[in-house]
Structure 1
Amino acid sequence: MKLLEVFENQPPLAMVGCGILRKEVNFLIEKNGWNVHTHFLDSALHNYLNRLSVELNRALDEREELGEKTVVFYGGCHPLMENYLEKHHTCRTHGQNCIVMLIGYELFMTELEKGAYFLLEDWALIWEPMITACFGMNMTVVREIFHSSHKYLLALRTPCNSDFVEAAKTAARFVDLPLQWMDVGLEHLESVLADAIQRRLEDRQ
């Protein structure tokens, strides 16, 4: 059964999730004519588990109080993620994290094993305040943290991105790592979203 056929005679689905790929998600929803509206949360919440827990559960509560059926756009970004999904009788997109959802597990692991830290546009634009809020203002410490497990920043550029070259360069200088680029399509993300949406619509809960 095609995904659009599953939408027939059903109200819109509410997708609650991380805003890191909001442009790409919204583009794919519009492209495919999916009857889905989105509620995006701050893309830096993965650094603050308590805030992620509170804001995700609050957003799901709000949507449920409106009588909406939800699906979650998150990876395993919280140790209790599966508990939250069960509590709210919903499901999430398959994938360890947003990078895996975007480029696939094999490519993710290949670059990770080479020492990549994956950089997306949204993070590049808020890089310094995001990093210092998480790790503090001591640049020696910040760079030691990054250098201990990463050899380069890999900026992923999608068809939905604006020009964030300068922001990416600034981010790389900030942590004193070389910058590399990779242009990526949306095919894998599209399949991940379609799978999650279909699973949720076919769930009668």
Structure 2
Amino acid sequence: MKTGDNRPITVAAQPRQPLVMVGCGILHKEVNYLIEQNGWFVETQFLDSALHNYLNKLSERLHEALVANREQGRETVVFYGCCHPRMEAILKHHHTLRTRGQNCIAMLLGYERFMAALEQGAYFLLEDWALTWEPMITQCFGHNLSVVREIFHTSHKSMIAIRTPCSGDFTAAARAAAAFVDLPLIWMDVDLSHLEAVLASAIFLKQNPAERCRECDSY
């Protein structure tokens, strides 16, 4: 396994307790799969993916999780992108770091592929969001369907449903989500190679503090 810039990972001496990866549950199946496949000594603690819609709750839940782990003497790494305006301050306060990338979609697709679709007006839909779409959206934006659709149409021209090797069949849920906001649905199949490199890099940097300064400008 190598980091994102193709430097080989030097396996550090294994600690008595696994490293705890705290983060968004949107890709929980993919992250757990990669941890198991690579034999990483890492435990996961996932937060509700809908927290992105409530910044105060996101910072509170993340802070609580990091405090709880610190009190137990556990080392942490964070699986989030720039999902909160104070994300870097939160990380600094807790003496930890996060996975490299703007958000979970960019970590999964890679920056160039993510930006190319975003520039075409894409809204990205993952399985976890598709399965809870209508209650999640109405709780955030209200029940006036015309207002909800106007919000989405202002910034988006299509909905891209992303399938990974870990996805179940969420075809019906994706179609319903796209119909709810009145956007055309497009499917995109994605492997886990880019996400794997992102996770590997974050774990490596957490376990090798001397290497962090070489990566700090990339976060």
TM-score range, shorter chain: over 0.9
Distance 1:58 1:146, change over 3 A: same
Matched residue, 1:67: 73
Counterpart Cα distance in 1 of 2:208 and 2:92: 16
CA distance in 1, matches of 2:13, 2:35: 13
What residue is the counterpart of 1:45 in the other structure?
51
SS at match of 1:193: helix
The equivalent residue for 2:60 is 54
2:93 is matched by which residue type in structure 1? K
Moved more, 5-14 or 146-155: 5-14
C-alpha distance in 1 between matches for 2:48 and 2:10? 29
Give how far 1:6 is off: 1.7
Structure 1 stretches lacking a partner, 5+ long: none
Aligned to 2:165: 159
The Cα offsets for residues 30-79 of structure 1, whole Å up to 9 and x where unpaired, read as 00000000000000101000100110000000111110000000001000
**Which residue in 1 is equivalent to 2:132?**
126
Indicate whether 1:92 and 2:98 are aligned.
yes
| Aligned twin of 1:25 | 31
Query: TM-score scaled to structure 2, two decimals?
Result: 0.90
CA contact 1:142–1:175 (8 Å) conserved in 2: yes
Contact 1:17 1:74 in 2 (8 A): yes
Residue 5 of structure 1, CA deviation:
1.9
The residue matched to 2:33 in structure 1 has which SS?
helix
How big is the alpha-carbon RMSD for the aligned residues of Structure 1 and Structure 2? 1.3
The 5 Å alignment of 1:136-155 reads 136-155=142-161
Q: 1:103 to 1:140 in 2, by over 3 A?
A: same
Question: Residue 213 of structure 2 aligns with which residue?
Answer: none
**Structure 2: runs of 5+ lacking an equivalent:** 1-6, 211-219
Partners of 1:58 and 1:9 in 2: how far apart? 23
1:203 corresponds to? 209
Say whether residues 1:171 and 2:177 are aligned partners: yes
Q: Percent identity?
A: 64
Q: Distance in 1 between matches of 2:43 and 2:187?
A: 31
Report if the CA contact (8 A) 1:7-1:35 is conserved. no
One-letter amino acid of the counterpart of residue 85, structure 2: P
Change (3 A) 1:144 1:36: same
Once residues 29 and 132 of structure 1 are traced to their aligned partners in structure 2, the CA distance between those partners, rounded to angstroms, is 34
Aligned to 1:135: 141
- Note the C-alpha offset of 1:18: 0.2
Is 1:112–2:122 an aligned residue pair? Answer: no
Contact persistence 1:12–1:36 (CA under 8 A): yes
CA apart distance, 1:11: 3.1
Equivalent position SS for 1:180: strand
Question: 1:20 deviation in Å?
Answer: 0.2
Letter in structure 2 aligned against 1:85: L
Structure 2 counterpart of 1:122, one-letter code: D
